[in-house]
Each structure stands twice: as C-alpha cells, then as structure tokens.
Amino acid sequence: MRNRINSTMYLGLFLALIISAFTMIGCGGGKNTVSGSPTPTPSPTPVSGSANLTASPSSVGFGTQALNTAMTQTVKITNTGTAAITITQDTVAGSGFSAGVTTPINLNAAQSVNVPVVFNPGAAGTVNGSLTLMSNGTSVLSIPLSGTGLAPLAHSVDVAWDPSVSATLQGYNVYRSTVTGGPYTKLSATLSPTTLLFTDTTPVSGKKYFYVVTAVDTSGAESSASSEVAVTIPVP
C-alpha cells in the first residue's frame, strides 16, 4: 500500500505540473505577449538634403574707378544643393562697397538670384572687402570684393566751332551733358561773336561728356543746337 500511495502522489504531482504549464501557455486571451517594435539591424541612417550656395563670378574686381563715381556689377547666387535655404542677412565689408540685397531671400534647390554689387570709392587707394550671406546667423557664402579709387586729375576739353553767317549774330552758348541727347547744362555766359573756342576745365577722369553749341542773335533768339560731340576723359 505504501508504494501505491506514493505512486499516486507522484502521479498527482506530475498532472499538477502539466496543468500548471498548460495554464501559463493558454492565458492572455490569445494576445501577443511580445512588447515593443522590431529594431532593424543595422539601424538605418536618415539621409537629409543640404543647401549649398555658389557665386558667379566667385569674386568681384572693379579695377580703377574715379572717386565718387559708382560702378555696378552683378553676381549670380545659385543654390546648387538639394534642400531649400533662406538668406536672412547680408554683410558688406570694405569702404565704398554696397549690395542691393533685400532679405529674407528663399532659394529652393537649383534656384538663383542676381545681386547687384556697387563700388563707389570715396578716397584714393585700393580697397579689399567682401559680401557675406548668412542664414539664421550662420555664414553660408562669402564673396571677395576689390577696387581702387582714383583721385581726379586736372583735365580740360577745348570745344571749337565754325562761325555763324548770321548778320545779327550776338554770340554763342556752349552746353554739356553726361547723357547723349541731353539734357544739357550751359557752361558759360553768351560768348562774343568773334570767339570760336571754349575751354571746359571741369571734366572728371573716367567720365564721358557730350557738347553742343548754339548761336544767339541780337534779339536774344537762340538757334537750334549744333551736332553733338562726345569726349571721354581718360583714366591714368
């Protein structure tokens, strides 16, 4: 009897273990007991586009320019990257340089914008500067600038003409313009009828001037202007 009782106890214990194991497997109402999401191996690296600005030309040289005479060159700014960029600020360094930039400027990939850069020297000598474009406080492009200011030298222009054949001639007027066709500015009081030459002592280096002459009769009536003569003042 002792052996049978022991066998029965062992059998009961064995069945209890089977029932316990079955209960653990079957609980949960069929829900997946695995928590969290699967993680790829290796982990993927995100790929994001980036902007890249280039300038054409990459640097701007103005050469020699007469003082207080502005010269403008155009720089093409292109976003050669794969993402958009916003130019939020521009900074110009160097005396006499300026740029026609109105920020903010939004440039998508492959888009361009033309920026006028001006050199108007106020003093003689060579100036080196730069145009820097920034995006949210970070410099994204810097363009070197250079130019030389030239102090004006003394120049003069002699304007001569053929005499009028009018019997009532009183004299002549000499006019000058910086634009072909005028408007013209009178350079002197009415000259005597025997004067056939006038010397203009106010030209500036590097500029172009246009001259005309008129005849005035004794009643004060003025003739139409002569043919225009153009003169370019040399730059040393």
Compute the distance between CA of residue 71 and CA of residue 74 in angstroms, rounded to an integer.
10
Closest-CA residue to 123 (of 149, 145, 146, 147): 149
Q: How many CA atoms lie within 13 A of 95 on its CB side?
A: 11
Could you give the CA distance from residue 233 to residue 236 in angstroms, rounded to a whole number?
10
- Residue 155 has what DSSP assignment? -
| 98-133: pLDDT as tens digits | 999 899 999 999 999 999 999 999 999 999 999 999
Strands, sheet with 97-99, edge to edge from the N-terminal-most edge strand:
53-56, 71-79, 112-119, 97-99
Omega before residue 203 within 30° of 0, cis = no
Mean confidence (pLDDT) of the chain: 84
> How much is the pLDDT for 176?
97
pLDDT score of 21 more than 80: no
Among 44-48, 67-71, 87-91, 121-125, which stretch is predicted with the lowest mean pLDDT? 44-48
